[in-house]
Structure 1
Amino acid sequence: MSASAGEGAAAPQITPFERLGGETGVRALVDHFYDLMDLEPAFAELRALHPSTLEGSRDKLFWFLCGWLGGSNHYIERFGHPMLRARHLPYAIGLRERDQWMACMIQAMQDRAVDPALAERLAESFFGTADWMRNKGG
């Protein structure tokens, strides 16, 4: 008796990109993240690192996250390898900026009702990258 085509095959993995709702969901998360950064006094030092208008920052984070989360590689198509640390070296990033970035993203995920298990997994990954971006003490 032959096995059917689906037997023994691993179920396809749903990417974080898909779990967040694809480009629409990622864009909503990124926009909420930057809205919080722009409006909440708790994120003032983080906001100060950004240009007066956040449109370019919004687009770059959206493009990056799409690929990083398992969707299209919009960022790489436009700019090549992300080289995140090198691209962030001109900005003084310490513990405070890292922690504000994390708090802002965690709040954005909570406000956007991201599944708690996914949000926790993403926060762990975000923290590793955010900590790696630090280039000053304190």
Structure 2
Amino acid sequence: MKEESALAPDSVYLRLGGEQAMHTLVDRFYALMDELPEAWSVRCLHPESLAGSADSLFKFLSGWFGGPPLYINERGHPRLRMRHAPYAIGIAQRDEWMLCMRQALAEQVRDPVLHATVLRAFGDMADHMVNTDGRSACAAAPAIY
């Protein structure tokens, strides 16, 4: 695993604050998903415990933002759409996911340029994940781990 000192100093990973900041962002994101009634349909795609989802997201974001490629080292290429294909992800779920991430980012990222850059990247990724035109996300869908 790369030490943080070996990473590009302008990486989004380091600009966000490194490993601890990634954990804080992910933990807050999933806390919001649990707390906000407006995030219900995206929350019900996940297992009761969000610990596994949080671990996977942390590892993915680490590499995606230019930090240590933890997810790739452990599980290979993320193949996000393929891994999420079994789950009905519509506009509502995309918007709910973004609601949680937008709020988590707003609470943590003070630099307006960095905030806009990261929010745009998350928005593009969330748009890419939509795989249905409106089927219920909770209708007997297995949970994402």
Tell me the TM-score normalized by structure 2: 0.84
Aligned residue number for residue 114 of structure 2: 118
CA distance in 2, matches of 1:42, 1:125: 22
User: CA deviation digits over 1:62-85, x for unaligned, max 9?
Assistant: 000000000000000110000000
> Secondary structure in 1 aligned to 2:87?
coil
Aligned residue number for residue 67 of structure 2: 71
Unaligned runs of 5+ in 2: 1-7, 135-145
> Secondary structure in 2 aligned to 1:82?
coil
Letter paired with 2:82? A
User: CA deviation digits over 1:102-131, x for unaligned, max 9?
Assistant: 111010011124422111111111111111
- Choose between structure 1 and 2 for higher RCO, CA contacts under 8 A separated by at least 6 residues: 2
CA distance in 1, matches of 2:110, 2:91: 25
CA distance in 2, matches of 1:116, 1:49: 31
CA distance in 2, matches of 1:13, 1:26: 16
CA distance in 1, matches of 2:43, 2:9: 36
CA distance in 2, matches of 1:42, 1:116: 26
How much identity, in percent, do the aligned residues show?
48
Letter paired with 1:45? S
Aligned residue number for residue 49 of structure 1: 45
Aligned residue number for residue 10 of structure 2: 14
- Structure 1's consecutive aligned runs of 4 or more residues displaced over 3 angstroms after TM superposition are none
CA distance in 1, matches of 2:103, 2:128: 21
- Bigger Cα displacement from structure 2, 107-116 vs 21-30: 107-116
Cα RMSD between the aligned structures? 1.2
Query: Map of 1:1-138 to 2, 5 A cutoff?
Result: 14-138=10-134
Contact 2:109 2:115 in 1 (8 A): no
Measured after TM superposition, the shift of residue 133 of structure 1 is: 0.8
CA distance in 2, matches of 1:108, 1:26: 11
Tell me the TM-score normalized by structure 1: 0.88
> Secondary structure in 1 aligned to 2:47?
coil
CA distance in 2, matches of 1:116, 1:42: 26
Q: How many residue pairs end up in the alignment?
A: 127
